[in-house]
Amino acid sequence: PQDKDWWRKSVVYQVYPKSFNDTTGKGTGDIRGLTQKLDYLQGLGVDIIWLQPVYVSPQRDNGYDVADYCRINPDYGTMQDFEELSREIRARGMHLMIDIVVNHSSTEHVWFQQARLSKDSEYRDYYIWRDPAPDGGPPNNWISKFGGPAWQYDEATNQYFLTLFDKTQADLNWENPKVRQEVVNVLEFWAEKGVSGFRLDVINLISKDRQFSDDDGSTAPGDGRKYYTDGPHVHEHLHELHEKVFSLYNSVTVGEMSSTSLDHCIRYSNPDRKELSMTFNFHHLKVDYPNGQKWELMPYDFEMLKKLFSDWQIGMQQGGGWSALFFNNHDQPRAISRFLDDDEYHVESAKLLATTLHGLQGTPYIFQGEEIGMPNPQWSDIEEFRDVESLNMYGILQEQGKSAEEALDIIRERSRDNSRTPMQWDNTRNAGFTTGTPWIKVDERYPQINVQSQLEDPNSIYSHYRKLIRLRKTVQVITDGDYQRLDEAHPQVYAYQRSNEQETLVVISNFSGRDVQFRIPDSFYLSLDNQAVAAAELLIGNTQYAPQLNQVVSLTPYA
């Protein structure tokens, strides 16, 4: 019988199926492609595989626009393929987590198709409809996350429907108990197929303030989000799912929380509240957004990154919450290119980011390709991009007065496609991803950066990740230790300690390309007895020569 908190000691591997492994030559990955690579993932040591949406979908947003929640998109394979995947994962002692996208459905979903027919349709209330404003425009001034108004006009009934993302992603009406029952049915359907967990897409946006007032702009960014983020009934709705599904199947659950707060994340993930196992938040990935603006460039603020990690580590621990830890996912540029050096110090940088993150409290997530240090690809032309958000913003930035060249520079840095290029398996054509024409370009550096060249090399990035994952299983303080920051606004170094009654773990990271010295503060160092210092052991490092374990630690670039 599995311990109920087994996922606190686990590591999750995130698979973007479209770009993982193609077994048919059509240029997009498939479920069998993942099944073929399970030995690889087992070798890495991960416990949970998060499979991103493979449901029937028109793919306007690569599957986050679901047209049927209980059927597999034929591009990805069949239900038999899915069942085989699920079995093979279990046979290797791993777990399958699937993606549930129920803030919205595709407008191609039969519910929406029915809803739009008439105001009397029994599905009308599955979505959020409003009359036009007196001037015929949208009901309020909210902006969609992908640019443009958050409302779409529907001629048949002369009303607007709400779409917080793409115009084909219609927001579901969670105030309607029938919608909530549909969600329960979907979750049960997959739990019965042996799925162990759920990643819930933008789940903190499901409860909207029913006034639908204009955003008065009193708090930035003034796009309406304050009226639907962590909204009025969100905690009740999650508790309901917990009672009706998660608790019955002992599911592991992670909620993707957009623009959330620490207080809400504590509530979502504190076990006493019976909502979710853990939460993703994005504050640490906005440290290079000037005034929260994603579509303007700025070097990242290192002190802010450290402060955010520290505030959330301490806050979540005090409040009894649990964090999903990550630097990369399918919506973010690759962290190695964004924060460190993906060129000369590529290997050191990748290992540094991993070690810094895996030492924190929470459950770490590895996004495909991160374990081999995949960087942002080198984009030359707007034609190479595929993401609906990037293509929308390319136009909007130019409408706002940027030149095509300036707009492209911003898209290059910020596009979600940075993380969506094909997984680099080996140095054969298309990095071994497909025998056909890949749906999105393969990064030119695949002959140097690929799985095959790292598997057997004990000094590779891949081997470093393996070691980190193994440490988590043997060093208890990584899971349960409390957190304290050790650097006082050091311009290059982030250092913290984790302690429980038996052990102390110290993580010291040089985020710069220079040699630096770091002095462990007296308040901490002098509290250790000599024996403890003498017994200290280097658990993991990323440099050729191990640094001396003294109060003053010398660190080479990105050590």
Q: At its nearest, how many Å lie between ligand TEU and the CB of residue 202?
A: 5
Instruction: Give whichever of 256 and 443 is closer to ligand TEU, judged by the CB atom.
Output: 256
Q: Is 503 a catalytic residue?
A: no
Q: How would you class 432 by CB atoms within 10 Å of its CB: exposed for 0-12, middle for 13-18, buried for 19 or more? A: buried
Give phi and psi for 457, each to the nearest 5. Answer: -90, 115
Q: Is 413 in the site for ligand TEU (CB under 6 A)?
A: no
> Tokens 């789940």 map to which residue?
203
Interface of this chain with ligand TEU, residues 288 to 327, rule: CB under 6 A: 294
Residue 57: its H or E element? none
Q: At its nearest, how many Å lie between ligand TEU and the CB of residue 529?
A: 47
Instruction: Give whichever of 390 and 430 is closer to ligand TEU, judged by the CB atom.
Output: 390
Instruction: Give whichever of 109 and 330 is closer to ligand TEU, judged by the CB atom.
Output: 330
Q: Is 59 in the site for ligand TEU (CB under 6 A)?
A: no
Instruction: Give whichever of 35 and 368 is closer to ligand TEU, judged by the CB atom.
Output: 368
> Tokens 């084909």 map to which residue?
168
Q: Is 201 a catalytic residue?
A: yes
Q: Of 81, 201, 348, 487, which lies in the binding site for ligand TEU, with binding defined by CB under 6 A? A: 201
Total number of residues shown for the chain: 559
In the set 22, 47, 171, 256, the catalytic residue is: 256
Q: How far apart are the first and last CA of the chain?
A: 41
Biggest alpha carbon distance in the chain?
79
Q: Compose the 88-107 pattern: x for residues touching ligand TEU by CB under 6 A, - for all others.
A: -------------x------
What SS3 state is found at 558?
A: coil
Interface of this chain with ligand TEU, residues 378 to 407, rule: CB under 6 A: 389
Q: At its nearest, how many Å lie between ligand TEU and the CB of residue 549?
A: 40
Q: Is 230 in the site for ligand TEU (CB under 6 A)?
A: no
Q: How would you class 311 by CB atoms within 10 Å of its CB: exposed for 0-12, middle for 13-18, buried for 19 or more? A: middle
Instruction: Give whichever of 342 and 389 is closer to ligand TEU, judged by the CB atom.
Output: 389
Q: Is 61 in the site for ligand TEU (CB under 6 A)?
A: yes
Interface of this chain with ligand TEU, residues 120 to 179, rule: CB under 6 A: 145, 165
Give phi and psi for 494, each to the nearest 5. Answer: -115, 125
Closest CA to 436 of 65, 52, 75: 75
Q: Is 71 in the site for ligand TEU (CB under 6 A)?
A: no
Q: Using alpha carbons only, what angle is made at residue 236 by residues 232 and 238, rounded to the nearest 5 degrees?
A: 110
What burial letters (b/e) apply to 369-383, b meaning 16+ CB within 10 Å? bbbbbbbbbebeebe
Instruction: Give whichever of 257 and 357 is closer to ligand TEU, judged by the CB atom.
Output: 257
Q: Which residues contact 288 (CB under 8 A, 6 or more apart)?
A: 297, 298, 299, 300, 301, 338
Q: At its nearest, how many Å lie between ligand TEU and the CB of residue 64?
A: 3
How far apart CA 522 and CA 257 sit, in angstroms, is 38
> Tokens 């190695």 map to which residue?
336
Q: At its nearest, how many Å lie between ligand TEU and the CB of residue 508?
A: 31
How far apart CA 21 and CA 28 sit, in angstroms, is 7
Q: Is 64 in the site for ligand TEU (CB under 6 A)?
A: yes
Q: Of 84, 154, 331, 480, which lies in the binding site for ligand TEU, with binding defined by CB under 6 A? A: 331
Instruction: Give whichever of 326 and 446 is closer to ligand TEU, judged by the CB atom.
Output: 326
How far apart CA 555 and CA 483 sit, in angstroms, is 22
Q: Annotated active-site positions, please? A: 201, 256
Residues in touch with ligand TEU (CB under 6 A):
61, 64, 101, 145, 165, 201-202, 256, 258, 294, 330-331, 389
